[in-house]
Structure 1
Amino acid sequence: MTSARRSWTAGSLTVRSFLKPHKVAWAVFHPAWIPEALDPTVERLKRGRVVAGAVAAVGVYTFVEGGFAFEEMLENTAIASAVLFFLTPVTVGVMLFVWRRTGTVRQLKRPLVDSLKLLLLFIGCVLTTVGVFRSSETFGLVPRMLLTLVGLWMAFFVMAGAVRLSGNFFGSAAVHRCLPPLLATVTTWLMAVPDLITGDLHGLSLTMGIVFILGAPVTVTGLALLEMRRLKRRYGIRLAAHPATLPPTPAGPPLRVPPQGHPYGHPQGHPYGQPYAPHPGQPYPQGNPYGSYRAHNGQNPYGG
């Protein structure tokens, strides 16, 4: 975590951006203060978790029963939002209780507040979208057409935002890198278990219902465990450790510095050759002559 704060969208939105709701959603629901994935493998695991989470949210039985139901998808999204509104603070509260021995809540106040803002923003957008579609039925033809256009824009905006949030899970990675996979796991199981308990298999047989309903949460759980395992083994990030006690992580992929020539070299080469060139059989040793700290413990002591 850093003290330097950027704007919410980092200036990525323009007036023309609002013609494409998915671009607006990606800027609004993935603010500039959310840290990026540490490496490509973590990013791929996150994408797999996003797909499985989307299946759990929309409901694979929608397609099995004979087609995509737009209204049902909105209802599922609204239900998922209500679940998130109660579940996310409870899960984070449990982790704050676990972290209390090695750190304080005050150290995490800023990212926690930012994540709460993102959660409330998404829930507000979902409820607004559902309200626009429901209210359009009470108006005449012209107002209904206008509200339908607004509702469609909002629907695409919310769907794209939901996909984006499935990856960063309301920016909780700014609090702790392991929170997004943990929250995704808890959420998908909470959405699937009631269907099994009540026996609501949505017209599917018992075997097919169990497979389709539990397929998404099991997949999300497996990918989340792999993600947290890689964070622990490669970067020393443990879920039970307070974020303030974790080792520094790289802000992005390491910079690749191109090979540099002689600082006073001539574009066509030195007119007298290279006076300090190494002997052909005895090249100079490459790398850091004093060794690398990163090679011993996998971490850069200066947070690079």
Structure 2
Amino acid sequence: MSMAIKNLLVLAVLLSVLGVSVANPKGLDLNYYKNRCPDAEAIVRRVTIQYVSRQTSLAAALLRVHFHDCFVRGCDGSVLLKSPNKDAERDAIPNLSLRGYEVVDAAKSALEKKCPGVVSCADVLALVARDAVLVINGPWWPVPLGRRDGRISKKSEVNLPSPFAGIAALKKNFFDKGLNTKDLVVLSGAHTIGISNCGLINSRIYNFTGKGDFDPSMNPSYVRALKKRCKPTDFRTSVEMDPGSVKKFDSHYFNIVAQKKGLFTSDSTLLEDPETKGYIDTQVATAGSSFNKDFSESMVKLGSVEVLTGNKGEIRRKCAFVN
């Protein structure tokens, strides 16, 4: 094990011991597995570090899987389920590009050897997302535990915040999940480590209104740069969401958005609301002084959305299949 990874493990333990003030939302508990499976978090962290240290792009991927899970039926691991009929959540178009399932499966497999039938896949996913961000030196946040796994996963129910959405639609998406406007702009900051593809911005830079134009809310120099990378018929080439800082978890994303270089409409539209624009302006002016703390708090809120606890749901033996 490298010294860097050892240091990460030590840091995580210290943070756990020191604790971060957090209410235990909706029946979740920071010490939920203390007696049931005391090594649960350490096992998940060890597996996550093994994968993400080799392929750092998995940090953004795993954070995205957790986000997509929580926005449909809550944080119940339903996005992990497979369907022989290809009609589960992971089969919906916005989820076809999700990746990192193998990390969750490996962590769950390690837990099953140590504490069979105890730790839910929903909890594993929440922990993996947190620890993956930690590997790339992003912020740490406490993960209250005790989620149960859902048994239902329907492609037809996938209604995620769209990259093409305006501010009103995005605010409604978040409000419907108990998340506020600040959570919207803070969690959008996760795009600091994200990548997308030319297909999702093609019309925005080549044919915004059907007249061969580009979105006027975009910086023209940025459009020219995107056109060099994305030819009119190219729908596959990857595009960084935070150019120049895509491998570093920082507040640089807000600088990009402020310069009208947000990749998606959902990024640019954050400048159209006084609260979201105010947050962006503050992060730019203060070099992101509060972003890590704000992100941690919003991730705790996200992780408690519509969770199943108590006798609801189940503890899956394998994350891709109901028991």
> Which has the larger Rg?
1
TM-score of the alignment, normalized to the shorter chain, above 0.5: no
Q: TM-score, normalised by structure 1?
A: 0.29
TM-score (norm: length of structure 2): 0.28
Q: Which has the higher helix share?
A: 1
